[in-house]
């Protein structure tokens, strides 16, 4: 670039600018690649297939992709897959449902009144400091090993991110909007409906994304403890018999469920926060 | 010239403030201030930054609950406030912003009429961040006028707008006020804006009304009018802005404004 400028006979200000335009190096990552996100996973799948086909991957360590596919077919045919999937989805849905209601309600009470905050915020922060799974022994003693314990564990895990992020969103509402609400004499109800809830919505939805991930994580744990149904149970059973193909089917299922639920939350996010996106994209 | 003609006070005032005192952390912002505004009168309040303009306006709006102070404030029931920022809720469409807090079956229609009045008919479904700064401020005006206020408080409502938009907004505000006839208290730091819009201009200094000026310039008011220039010079003098250097003022702590 410097050399180009040097060879020029005229030294007007436009000359270096023009030459540098031609030779400017791009430092960013460059243009996006088509189907870029799929390349990595496809590569992984290719390596896996090649490894299994050449026999480099022992069937006992990792089943071949085609074995996994046929096993999936068999599991569907026998109905085992659907039954376990349904049980698992039900547990997460219940846990999420209770957790979201609990987290949102606590966040509202704690965000809208100083007394509420004084009473609620401390215990939630303490609960957050204790690794959630450390509570399991106590939960098992109190609630047994049935469905109630499983759903409760998921609920307790899920409500924390919902609470934290909704509360954060609530407290982050611009005080100027609160002042405005006072000048137009909004009632308490209208204030919550028109200002507080929409203002806290971005925070809530962020919490929701964490909550969904947490929900599946806790499901895996509770299903591998004294369970008699669910994807986790199916995988745990397969471990005892050394059936890596079924374990992989379970992993793929967990992955798909996680991706799907995250996508669903993102879709809701895009719809509900359309006022934010109008200029951005 | 700066005295209030006695004949005008026979009408019951819309706003009456007596011996209003406000202070932040032992600093007196308003010092036993007296002020009356007649119904339908447009009063502009000038003052250097830190003179307590906004404190006075916020006291009238009832937005200074946490500020220590004494005095009498008598304002009408229907008070609207326009802020320097439009303060539209970004998650409500324009029309919902206008009728925020209104109840009753006629609210939606009133909101549409009010938007049409500020020249934004057809933009009801827009999001606030799709509007320009001037348009947002017009929505804020529509929101304040749809409540048919007896007192309109405006805190530098055009301060953030560009000069051309500001001129257009002056004409709009004047015509809206002529139609709705609220008492108006406009806080501004723009002397020309005060003269163009107001019936009476007050200068706030040291927590008191330091000067008062009736605006008797013929409408439409033109800054080329000699009377306009005369009043402007007088007001600038009262604000301590003159061509020749002045005696340095007593150093005074700046207040929140």
HEC secondary structure over chain A: CHHHHHHCCCCCCHHHHHHHHHHCCCCCCCCCCCCHHHHHHHHHHHHHHHHHHHCCCCCCCCCCHHHHHHHHHHHHHHCHHHHHHHHHHHHHHHHHHHHHHHHHHHHHHHHHCHHHHHHHHHHHHHHHHCCHHHHHHHHHHHHCCCHHHHHHHHHHHHHHHHHHHHHHHHHCCCHHHHHHHHHCCCCHHHHHHHHHHHHHHHHHHHHHHHHHHHHHHHHHHHHCCCCCCCHHHHHHHHHHCCCHHHHHHHHHHHHHHHHHHHHHHHHHHHHHCHHHHHHHC
Residue A48 CB partners (closer than 8 Å, separation 6+): A57, A62, A65
pLDDT at A180: 93
Residue with tokens 């204030």: A191
Query: Does the beta-carbon distance from B92 to A184 stay under 8 Å?
Result: no
How many Cβ atoms are within 10 Å of A37's Cβ, its own excluded?
8
The pLDDT, as a whole number, for residue A62 is 85
The DSSP H or E segment spanning B152 is strand B151-155
CA of B103 to nearest chain A CA: how many angstroms apart? Answer: 10
- pLDDT, mean of residues A2-8: 44
Q: Exposed/middle/buried for B207, CB within 10 Å: 0-12, 13-18, 19+?
A: buried
Does the structure show a pLDDT above 80 at B143?
yes
HSE-CB of B101 using CA atoms within 13 angstroms: 21
> How many whole angstroms separate alpha carbon B248 and alpha carbon B234?
19
| Residue B52 C-alpha, separation from nearest chain A C-alpha, in angstroms | 19
**Closest CA of chain B from A278, distance in Å:** 7
pLDDT for B63: 86
In eight-state DSSP terms, residue B39 is T
Share of chain B above pLDDT 70, in %: 89
Nearest CA distance, A180 vs chain B (angstrom): 7
Provide the pLDDT for residue B206.
83
The residues that bridge with B155 in the sheet, in sequence order, are B187
Average pLDDT over residues B18-42: 87
The answer to whether the CB atoms of B89 and A278 lie below 8 A apart is no
Name the percent of chain A lying above pLDDT 70: 90
Q: What is the pLDDT of residue A34?
A: 82
* Whole-Å CA distances, B137 to A104, B84, B132, B194, B238: 34, 8, 9, 18, 30
Question: Chain A contacts of B80, Cβ < 8 Å?
Answer: 183
The answer to whether residue B253 scores a pLDDT higher than 80 is no
Cα dihedral sign for A235, A238, A242, A243? Answer: negative
Total Cβ atoms within 10 A of residue B240: 13
Mean pLDDT of chain B: 85
pLDDT digits (tens, 9 = 90+) for A77-124: 898 888 989 999 999 999 999 999 999 999 999 988 889 888 999 999
What are the sequence ranges of the domains in chain B?
6-78+150-238, 90-148
Produce one character per residue of B11-42: b if its CB has 16 or more CB atoms within 10 Å, e if not.
eebbbebeebbbbbeeeebbeebebbbbebbb
Q: What is the pLDDT of residue B7?
A: 43
Q: What is the pLDDT of residue B4?
A: 45
Q: What is the pLDDT of residue B159?
A: 87
Query: For an interface test with A, which of B64, B65, B90, B154 has the most A Cβ atoms less than 10 Å from its Cβ?
Result: B90
3-state class (DSSP) for residue B74:
strand
Say what the pLDDT of residue A18 is: 52
Q: Which of A182, A184, A278 sits opposite B129 (nearest CB)?
A: A278
The answer to whether the Cβ–Cβ distance between A180 and B147 falls below 8 Å is no
**Both tokens assigned to B75:** 């304002």
Q: For the domain with range B6-78+150-238, which CATH number is right: 3.50.50.60, 3.40.50.970, 3.40.50.300, 3.10.105.10?
A: 3.40.50.300
**Cβ-defined contact of A195 to B90 (cutoff 8 Å):** no
Residue B6: pLDDT band with limits 50, 70, 90: very low
- Residues of B with Cβ-Cβ distance to A182 under 8 angstroms: 62-63
Is the ipTM above a cut-off of 0.85? no
Q: Give the pLDDT score at B245.
A: 55
Contact B5, B212 (CB under 8 A): no
Give the mean pLDDT of A19-43: 78
- A105: CB partners within 8 A, 6+ apart: none
A19-28, A60-69, A132-141, B99-108: least confidently modelled range: A19-28
pLDDT at residue A1 in the model: 41
pLDDT (average), residues B107-131: 91
Contacts of B79 in chain A (CB under 8 A): 183
* pLDDT for position B90: 92
- Which chain B residues are within 8 Å of A181, Cβ to Cβ? 100-101
Query: Between chains, do A278 and B130 touch, taking CB under 8 Å as contact?
Result: yes
Query: In A, residues 187-216, which contact B (CB 8 Å cutoff)?
Result: 187, 190, 194-195, 198-199, 201
Q: What is the pLDDT of residue A98?
A: 96
The proportion of chain B whose per-residue pLDDT surpasses 90, expressed as a percent, equals 35
> How far lies A56's CA from each of A45, A52, A59, A248, in Å?
15, 6, 9, 18
For chain A, domains (ranges, CATH) are 65-274 (1.10.3720.10)
pLDDT at A252 over 60: yes
Q: Which residue has the tokens 């990595």?
A: A40
């Amino acid at each position: 670039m410097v050399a180009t400028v040097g060879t020029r006979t005229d030294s007007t200000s436009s000359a270096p600018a023009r030459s540098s335009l031609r030779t400017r190096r791009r430092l960013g990552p460059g243009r996006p690649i088509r189907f870029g996100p799929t390349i990595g996973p496809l590569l992984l799948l290719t390596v896996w297939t090649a490894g299994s086909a050449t026999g480099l991957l022992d069937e006992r360590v990792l089943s071949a992709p085609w074995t996994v596919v046929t096993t999936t077919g068999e599991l569907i045919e026998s109905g085992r897959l659907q039954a376990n999937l349904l049980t698992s989805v039900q547990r997460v849905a219940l846990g999420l449902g209770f957790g979201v209601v609990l987290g949102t309600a606590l966040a509202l009470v704690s965000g809208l009144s100083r007394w509420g905050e004084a009473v609620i915020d401390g215990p939630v922060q303490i609960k957050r400091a204790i690794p959630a799974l450390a509570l399991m022994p106590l939960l098992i003693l109190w609630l047994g090993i049935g469905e109630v314990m499983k759903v409760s564990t998921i609920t307790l895990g899920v409500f924390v991110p919902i609470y934290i992020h909704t509360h954060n969103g609530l407290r982050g509402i611009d005080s100027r909007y609160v002042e405005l609400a006072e000048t137009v004499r909004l009632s308490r109800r209208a204030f919550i409906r028109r200002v507080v809830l929409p203002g806290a919505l971005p925070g809530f939805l962020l919490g929701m994304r964490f909550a969904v991930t947490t929900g599946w994580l806790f499901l895996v744990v509770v299903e591998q403890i004294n369970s008699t149904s669910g994807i986790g149970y199916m995988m745990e059973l397969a471990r005892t018999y050394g059936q890596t193909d079924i374990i992989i089917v379970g992993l793929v299922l967990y992955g798909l469920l996680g991706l799907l639920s995250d996508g669903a939350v993102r879709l809701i996010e895009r719809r509900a926060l359309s006022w934010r996106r109008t200029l951005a994209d | 010239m700066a005295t209030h003609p006695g004949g005008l006070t026979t009408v019951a005032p819309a706003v009456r403030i007596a011996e209003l005192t406000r202070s932040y952390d032992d600093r007196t912002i308003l010092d036993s201030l007296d002020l009356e505004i007649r119904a339908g009168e447009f009063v502009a309040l000038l003052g250097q930054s830190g003179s307590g303009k906004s404190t006075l306006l916020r006291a009238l709006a009832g937005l200074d609950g946490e500020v220590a102070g004494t005095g009498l404030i008598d304002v009408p029931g229907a008070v609207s406030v326009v802020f320097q920022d439009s303060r539209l809720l970004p998650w409500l469409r324009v029309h919902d912003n206008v009728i925020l807090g209104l109840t009753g079956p006629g609210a939606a229609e009133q909101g549409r009429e009010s938007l049409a009045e500020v020249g934004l008919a057809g933009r009801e479904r827009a999001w606030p961040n799709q509007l320009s700064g001037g348009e947002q401020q017009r929505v804020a005006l529509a929101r304040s006028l749809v409540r048919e206020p007896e007192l309109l408080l405006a805190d530098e409502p055009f301060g953030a707008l560009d000069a051309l938009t500001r001129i257009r907004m002056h004409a709009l505000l004047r015509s809206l006020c002529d139609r709705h006839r609220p008492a108006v208290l406009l806080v501004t730091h723009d002397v020309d804006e005060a003269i163009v819009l107001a019936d009476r201009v007050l200068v706030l200094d040291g927590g008191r009304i330091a000067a008062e000026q009736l605006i008797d310039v013929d409408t439409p008011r033109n800054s080329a009018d000699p009377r306009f220039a005369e009043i402007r010079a007088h007001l600038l003098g009262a604000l301590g802005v003159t061509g020749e250097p002045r005696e340095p003022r007593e150093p005074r702590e700046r207040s929140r404004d």
